[in-house]
């Protein structure tokens, strides 16, 4: 399991980079229209979902602990598709969509980290990312009347924070993959 998780470090890295880019764009263009926010979120959610599904599918056969990653990917892609299918949705609907997506994804990431805590080190990064997602979603549900720019900044800050956590976890897993490779190599006699 440890080996299977570390070999997919690149998928976490790509998800983290996509989140950071989305967050930076939210701060660079704060006056962006709601329609642009919908499309930017849609693109991010679809890419995030694709990379999550790829990582889940690359798990060795017979490993049951990877279903959560595929489910997070499906939810993320559905959220992205809905954003494109209904671009004229109101700020409240978009806020609810983003909040629900963050809460559901965060819960599954916390569950996965708890299940994997004996298999990997650094699982607290996934727990922290999941908790940040849940907290972000709850805050967005509590205050649905926030202005579009305020929502954009909150979304951007969340995306950057979450992206940095995913990048940190991916680099840690990459290091574990390399250390496993070096330890597995036969030593000359």
Span 16-40, pLDDT tens digits: 898 898 888 888 876 565 667 778 7
Q: Give the per-residue pLDDT at 131.
A: 93
Tens of pLDDT, residues 39-73: 878 888 899 899 888 888 877 666 666 777 888 88
Q: Give the per-residue pLDDT at 78.
A: 92
In the chain, alpha helices (H)? 2-6, 9-28, 34-57, 67-85, 91-116, 123-142, 148-184
Q: Give the per-residue pLDDT at 154.
A: 78
Spatial separation of the C-alpha atoms in residues 157 and 102, rounded to whole Å = 13
**Axis crossing angle, helix 148-184 with helix 123-142, rounded to the nearest 10:** 170
In terms of pLDDT, which residue wins out, 15 or 65? 15
The first and second tokens of residue 1, run together, are 């399991």
Contact 155, 44 (CB under 8 A): no
- pTM of the complete model: 0.53
Q: Give the per-residue pLDDT at 46.
A: 93
Residue 69, classified by CB atoms within 10 Å of its CB into exposed (0-12), middle (13-18) or buried (19+), is buried
Tens of pLDDT, residues 73-115: 898 999 889 888 877 665 577 778 778 888 998 998 898 888 8
Spatial separation of the C-alpha atoms in residues 113 and 129, rounded to whole Å = 10
Contact 41, 86 (CB under 8 A): no
CA 121 to chain CA centroid, nearest Å: 19
Contacts of 104 (CB under 8 A, 6+ apart): 72, 75
Which 8-state DSSP code applies to residue 31? T
Q: Kindly list the structural domains of the chain, giving each domain's residue range(s) and its CATH number in brackets, ordered by start.
A: 2-180 (1.25.40)
CB atoms under 10 Å from CB of 104, counted, come to 18
Tens of pLDDT, residues 116-171: 777 777 778 888 989 998 988 888 788 765 555 667 787 788 889 999 998 998 89
Q: Is the pLDDT of residue 183 over 70?
A: no
Helix (H, G, I), strand (E, B) or coil at 87: coil
Q: Give the per-residue pLDDT at 174.
A: 85
Q: Give the per-residue pLDDT at 161.
A: 92
Spatial separation of the C-alpha atoms in residues 47 and 30, rounded to whole Å = 22
Helix (H, G, I), strand (E, B) or coil at 66: helix
């Amino acid at each position: 399991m440890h080996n299977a998780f570390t070999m997919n470090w690149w998928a976490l890295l790509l998800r983290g980079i996509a989140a950071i880019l989305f967050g930076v764009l939210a701060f660079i263009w704060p006056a962006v229209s709601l329609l642009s926010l919908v499309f930017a979120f849609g693109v991010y959610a679809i890419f995030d979902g694709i990379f999550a599904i790829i990582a889940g599918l690359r798990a060795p056969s017979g490993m049951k602990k990877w279903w959560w990653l595929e489910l997070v990917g499906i939810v993320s892609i559905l959220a992205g598709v809905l954003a494109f299918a209904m671009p004229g949705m109101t700020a409240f609907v978009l806020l609810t969509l983003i909040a629900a997506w963050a809460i559901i994804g965060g819960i599954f990431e916390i569950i996965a980290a708890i299940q994997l805590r004996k298999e990997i080190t650094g699982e607290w990064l996934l727990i922290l990312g999941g908790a940040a997602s849940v907290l972000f979603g709850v805050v967005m549900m509590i205050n649905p009347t926030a202005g579009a720019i305020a929502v954009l900044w909150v979304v951007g800050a969340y995306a950057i924070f979450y992206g940095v956590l995913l990048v940190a976890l991916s680099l840690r897993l990459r290091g574990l993959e390399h250390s496993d490779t070096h330890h597995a190599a036969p030593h000359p006699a």
